Every structure is written in C-alpha cells, then in structure tokens.
Amino acid sequence: MRRWVTKKYQIDCGKIAARYGVSEIMAEVLVKRGLFDWQDMDDYLFPDMNRLADACLMKDLVKAAGILAENIRQGKRILIVGDYDVDGVISTYILHRGLGMLGANVGYRLPHRVRDGYGMRPYMAEEAKEGGYDTIITCDNGISAGDAVARGKELGLTMIVTDHHEVPENDHGEVLPPADCVVNPKQRGCRYPWKELCGGGIAYRLVAHMLEGAGRAEEAKELLPFAAIATVCDVVPLLGENRILVKNGLDLLGDCPNPGLQALIRLQDFHRPVGAGDLGFRIGPCINAAGRLADAELALELLLAGDEDLAQKRGQELLALNERRKDYTADAVRRAVEMVERDGDDGVLALLLEDCHESVAGIVAGRIREKYYRPVLIVTKGAKGLKGSARSIPGYHMQREIEKCQSLLTEFGGHAMAAGFSLEEENFEAFRQLLNDNCALRDEDLVETMHFDREVPLGQMTEQVVGELEGLEPVGEGNPGGVFACRGIEIAGVQLCGRDYQIARLRLRDGVRSYAGVDFHCEDRLKPAVIDRYGEASWEALVQGQSTGCQVDVLYRPKINQRFGGVDFEIVDCR
C-alpha cells in the first residue's frame, strides 16, 4: 500500500484567495507548490516572456552569437551536431531554422542510436572537414565530448558547444571540452540564474538573441513552440523559465507555420487545443520513435518539410513507427512482469530480456519501476554483448550503485534516477547479485509516497474551482497538477476497456450524487483496493455490472469534461 502524504503550513488561504480572486482550494495548492510570497506567486501565475533573464548573462552565448554571425557574413558552412532523442532533434531544428532565417549555409548531423551512440564522436569532425564545413555547433550534447571537440580543433574547425547536461569533473575541477566557446548554464562562472533549461531551450535563447540583434526579434516567436516541445519531452522541471517557455510556446502552437508539426497534430485528431501532456505523451513519442526504431533524421525531415505532401508522408511514417514502439514496449513489459512474478524477490530488479529492442529498454524499466516500486535494470542482448537501461526510486542513487560494480562493466554512465551500461553476457548474474548484495534499501524505502494537496469532497470540486486549477498548467515534472483526497467513495459502476482492459470507466457516488471517473491503471489501483477490502467476488460482481456498495478512499485529479461539461475525476490511487 502506498503512503499518502500532504504538507501542512500555517497559511492564510483567505488572503491569497482574495488577492487573486480564486477559491481557498486554489490558494492552498499555490502554497503547496512552494510559493510563499507575492513575487513568487506572481511569477508563477503570470509566466510572461519578459520575465526571462537577459540571455547575455549566459556564459559564452554572446561570443557564440558573434562567431556565428561573422561566419554567416562570410558565407562559411556551419554543421549542427544534435542527438537522436526529442530534445536533440528539436534543438537541431531550432538552430537550423533560426540560423537559416539569418542567411546561414547550414547542415546537420544526427547520431544514429546503434551505429554512433550518444553524442559527438571524433570521426564526425573528420566528416565535417571532408564535407567542407568550417564550424561545428553541438546541441543537447558536447559537454562530455572532449576528444571529438579536440579533433575538430586539430582539423582547423571552429567548435561551439551548446549543452545542458552536467559538466564532467575530476580531482582538479571542471573538465570542459576545448571548444572556442561553451554555452551551458551549468558550468561554473555562468551568471545565468536558471540552470535547468533543456538543449532546445538553450538553442532557442541563442538564436532569439541573434534575431533580436538583427532587428528581427518577432521572428523568434515561430521557434517558441519547438522550445516548448523539447522542454516538456526532456522532462526538465516545468518551473521558472521552463514554465515560461512552455506556456507561451503552447499559446503559439496552433498558429505555428511549420507544415510538419501541423501534420503531426492533424494526424492525431486532437479536436482541442494541444496541452503540455499532449506534447509529452503524443507529439514527443512520435518524434522519438524515429531515433528509437529507425533514424532520427526522419523526424528532422518532418520538421524541415517545405510542403504539406511531404509533411503528411513523414508524419504518417512517424505515427507508424510509434505504434511499433508501443507494441515492442507492451510485449517487453508483459515478459518482464512474468519474470518478476515468477522469481523477482530482489530489492533491485535486474532483468535480462534478450530479445527486447534496446531502444525501449528504458521505457520498460520505467514501467516496471512504477508497478513494483523498485530500482529496475532492463538488460538486452546486442551484437557486442549486453546493454542495459536503469531507472531508480528516491533513496537509491543508480549511477553510484552501478559504479560500485564497474569491474563487471565495459561502459556505464548516468545520474541518480537513470543510467545506462554495457557488460559481457557472462558477467550478468554476478552483476545482478552484486547490486543486491550492496543494496541498503529498507522495507520502508520500498513504499511509494503519494503527495496530495487537500481533502476535498467530489461535490466541492466545481467547474469554477477546476477552471482555477488549470492555472497550474503547464503541469509535469516538478510542477504536478492538483491531487486531492476523498474518503468513503462508493464504486457504483465499473466498465473495463483499453488494450489489456487496464482502463476502468467508473461511476462514483459521494453522498447522493454520482460522478464520472476513470482509472487508467485499474490493475494496480482500483482492483487491488476493492479486493483488499471486500474480496475477489466483490470485484468480479462490480465488473459484471452489479452494485455491491463497495467504498474506497481515493486520490484524484479533477478535469472539466470538454464535450459535455461538468467535472470528471481521474483516479490516481485507491485504498
């Protein structure tokens, strides 16, 4: 059973409600987002573009802009080296389009997930030189590519690194690549106050600064929706400047003139304004699918498509790839669950799925972590041994724990919550055993904590209140939507649907009124809660359409029903 927690503050919700003309429910939610003074609340509720810090504060940004402007003036060729994920593809597009607006002779190179791996390699600098390029600019990578940058300098290339990942360090401090300039707010000495921009955010700030310098600041608005997509899909915190970029980018998305993006939206039949969740769960995965299952350049070709016919064709290809990705993922998750149910007593779940497509291993690890609330490592078999992707839980620093096993690995890297690694097949069992021998997690560490904002009966969650809660948008990483608790809810009806009948459409009764609800993870939420309280027969009766009087406590998110009006309730957890 998950642990439900809410924060307690001594606050005057009435005063906050009066200032902003909102309910006390909304006022309490604002405080529980860590907003404790009027300035913080104003910045949060009114995320205007003029609240962005001066781009000139970002170390080397002005220098990079100057080099690029001079190269454009001289007609020199510029190569963008990006990455194969959404942030890498989008930041490449932002630079390509932005520099193109300024008249640059610009090309691009996206690594192939299997052939190249992550980031810039020395041979890419050699390819650029042979291709007649004078300058390489990286995006969403490069901060760790010291050898590749050095090779570019040896060949006489101008090297510009833009990246947002952590700067490598050794005993002497930072280890920066030997580039002509490094634009990364996480490097020491950078005075830019917001450190959590993604690669697309940094690319946007650079080209927007250049367009402003050319007297064409308004044209940067065309690129803002792409910065929003990259920010949401790279799962950086949707706070501060990221919140500003996403909110304003979403506002401009419907009028974005890019044929490829519009084709991708049209093909998915939204029939409503696209929100941050749509970027993360529908738009982004299609872009990502190209780099996972084929070549990321397919996604970039979609965004660079100059006519609707090509955009439609590329959009359909990406949708088909994403459907394949879903099938691969579902099959791998099913087999992983079978393995855990059969013999998965370990505190750290290291699972060898030999024929799992390596590109979905990280997704599978995340799904298994959610289901069992354990650190999870999914290992696949490749041409050169085993490769793995890992996802963790709070209290278990994945990168450090893997590092303790480095004698068994050929390669590894990552951070607290996610990591990647490679090893020889004969070392897998020893690796799994060593991870568990070293594991210091206690039983209480393996109980997931669910945070909620306030206890609110369903009847008090009116359309007006839910409309106020939409002011939390864009919600996502670091900025969750409102979650509320209600006890003693009667489950008056259950209808199972979805691919594996994991989705439950519900009738909920709170007092004398009934409400519509949905549980998207019924197998892990509502079903075990009913069985724990009332037994398996009661659950089967509910599924058969019988009213059994079963009551549960729920955590929920309220949503306005866009088609029929009224408020629907998404179940987050039950007990």
DSSP per residue, 455-495 = E--GGG--HHHHHHHGGGPSPBTTBPPP-EEEEEEEEEEEE
Over residues 167-217, the pLDDT tens digits come to 988 888 999 999 999 999 999 999 999 999 999 999 999 999 999 999 999
Asked if the model's pLDDT at residue 344 lies above 90, the reply is no
Give the model's pLDDT for residue 337. 95
**Residue 537 placed within a domain:** yes
**Closest alpha carbon to 89 in 283, 267, 361:** 283
CATH number of the domain that residue 357 is part of: 3.10.310.30
Give the model's pLDDT for residue 565. 85
**Closest alpha carbon to 488 in 399, 402, 553:** 553
**Residue 316 placed within a domain:** no
Give the model's pLDDT for residue 272. 83
Write down the pTM of the prediction. Answer: 0.92
**Residue 525 placed within a domain:** yes
CATH number of the domain that residue 557 is part of: 2.40.50
Domain shared by 442 and 456, yes or no: no
Domain shared by 433 and 352, yes or no: yes
Over residues 485-498, the pLDDT tens digits come to 999 999 999 999 98
Over residues 287-342, the pLDDT tens digits come to 999 999 999 999 999 999 989 999 999 999 999 999 999 999 999 999 999 999 99
User: Per-residue pLDDT averaged across 466-492, rounded?
Assistant: 96
Query: Can you tell me which residue has the tokens 């429910």?
Result: 25
Give the model's pLDDT for residue 343. 84
CATH number of the domain that residue 81 is part of: 3.90.1640.30
Residue 170 identity? N
Asked if the model's pLDDT at residue 499 lies above 80, the reply is no
Asked if the model's pLDDT at residue 384 lies above 90, the reply is no
Asked if the model's pLDDT at residue 108 lies above 90, the reply is yes
Domain shared by 406 and 350, yes or no: yes
User: Per-residue pLDDT averaged across 440-445, rounded?
Assistant: 94
Asked if the model's pLDDT at residue 536 lies above 90, the reply is yes
Give the number of domains in the chain. 3
Name the residue range of residue 408's domain: 344-446
Domain shared by 441 and 456, yes or no: no
Residue 530's Cβ-side half-sphere holds a number of Cα atoms within 13 Å equal to 26
The distance of Cα 209 from the centroid of its chain, to the nearest Å, equals: 26
Domain shared by 441 and 458, yes or no: no
Residue ending a domain, among 446, 474, 491, is: 446
- Residue percentage of the chain with pLDDT more than 90: 89
Over residues 72-100, the pLDDT tens digits come to 999 999 999 999 999 999 999 999 999 99
Of 272 and 80, more confident? 80
**Residue 330 placed within a domain:** no
Helices first, then strands: H and E counts in the chain: 21, 20
- Average pLDDT of every residue of the chain: 95
